[in-house]
Amino acid sequence: MAVFLVDLKRPTAPAGAYPQRHLGQRMWPMFCDSVLRQYPEARFSILTTPESTLPNQLFAAHIFAHPIGERPLPYERLRHYIRFLEEGEDDCSYLFLESDMLMLGRFRLDVREEWDLAIAYKNKGMWINAGMLLVRAGRRDAALGFLRKALQIYEDRYLDHPKWGADQAAFRDAAEMVQPPNCPTVQSTPEARVLLVPREDYTRYPTRFAALKPPRTWILHFAGPRKKWMSGYYWLQFGKGAWLGRLLSRITGARNAAGRSPSRSLSETSPS
The answer to whether 13 touches 138, Cβ cutoff 8 Å, is no
Tell me, yes or no, whether 9 and 119 share the same domain: yes
Helix (H, G, I), strand (E, B) or coil at 221: strand
**pLDDT of residue 165 exceeding 80:** yes
Are 50 and 159 in a shared domain? yes
Three-class DSSP category at 101: strand
- Predicted pLDDT of residue 148: 98
Write the CA distances from 73 to 7, 10, 57, integer angstroms.
10, 8, 26
The answer, yes or no, to whether residue 30 has pLDDT greater than 70, is yes
pLDDT tens-place string over residues 55-74: 555 666 787 777 776 778 88
- Residue 249's domain comprises 219-268
* Half-sphere exposure for 79 (CA within 13 Å, toward CB): 13
pLDDT at 55: 59
* Domain tally, the chain: 2
220 with 204: CB under 8 angstroms?
Answer: yes
Calculate mean pLDDT across residues 171-192. Answer: 91
- Please indicate, yes or no, if residue 214 is contained in any of the structural domains: no
Residue 119 sits in a domain whose CATH number is 3.90.550.10
Is 56 a member of any domain?
yes
4-13, 37-46, 159-168, 254-263, range with greatest mean pLDDT = 37-46
Please report the pLDDT score of residue 85 as a whole number. 94
Pick the closest to residue 105 from 28, 29, 199, 38 (CA basis). Answer: 38
The answer to whether residue 7 is domain-embedded is yes
Per-residue pLDDT, 50 = 75
What band does 266 get if pLDDT is binned at 50, 70 and 90? very low
Sheet of 101-103, strands arranged across: 101-103, 219-221, 203-204
State the pairing for strand pair 219-221/62-65: unpaired
pLDDT at position 103: 92
| Phi, psi of 178, rounded to the nearest 5 degrees | -95, -40
11 and 67 co-located in one domain:
yes
In a domain, 59, yes or no: yes
99-111 as b/e, with b when 16 or more CB fall inside 10 Å?
bbbbbbbebeeee
| pTM for this entry | 0.80
Distance of alpha carbon 193 from the chain centroid: 20
Closest listed residue to residue 213, CA positions, set 260, 150, 160: 260
